[in-house]
Amino acid sequence: MKFYTEYLWFNTKTKRAYINITAQVEEILSKSKIKDGMILVSAMHITAGVYVNDDEDGIIHDIDSMLERLAPYRPDYEHHRTGETNADAHLKSILIHHEVIIPVTGSKLDFGPWQQVYYAEFDGQRKKRVIVKAMGE
């Protein structure tokens, strides 16, 4: 079994952002030379996440609206007693989750129709990274 690892770096201009990273993941998979296996894509920060969904503005807006309803910014979170003000970002990250594993078949991401990989940033405006690890033969 072979392994190949690269990192993607992000520094968003806004606190919240949803970035389609499918092309970067496909490029890393191509460099890995793995034909069959899997690829792990994982945000390495507790206020960001990675998910798979459609690349369509309406659903991206709907995801953002849902997360804001479930984990809105509020000044009264316990976490804010530490001096931080990003408790909602931690909660949004838990809801999205921090990683996905995508099957690889025939040197391609084995997606269903319309599926794309996204990096979700909930406490941006600073440098963060994502690990992409291809595993297989």
Residue 104 has a pLDDT of 98
Class (C level, CATH) for 2-136: mainly beta
Please give the pLDDT value at position 110.
Answer: 98
pLDDT at residue 125, rounded to an integer? 95
Of 123, 76, 74, 77, the residue nearest 96 (C-alpha): 123
128 close to 121: Cβ distance less than 8 angstroms? yes
CA distance 134 to 31: 10
Residue spans of the domains in the chain: they are: 2-136
- pLDDT of amino acid 53: 98
For residue 24, the surrounding DSSP H or E stretch is helix 22-32
Predicted TM-score (pTM) of the model is: 0.96
What is the reported pLDDT for 41?
98
Mean pLDDT by 10 residues, the chain (137 residues): 98 97 98 98 98 97 98 96 96 98 98 97 97 98
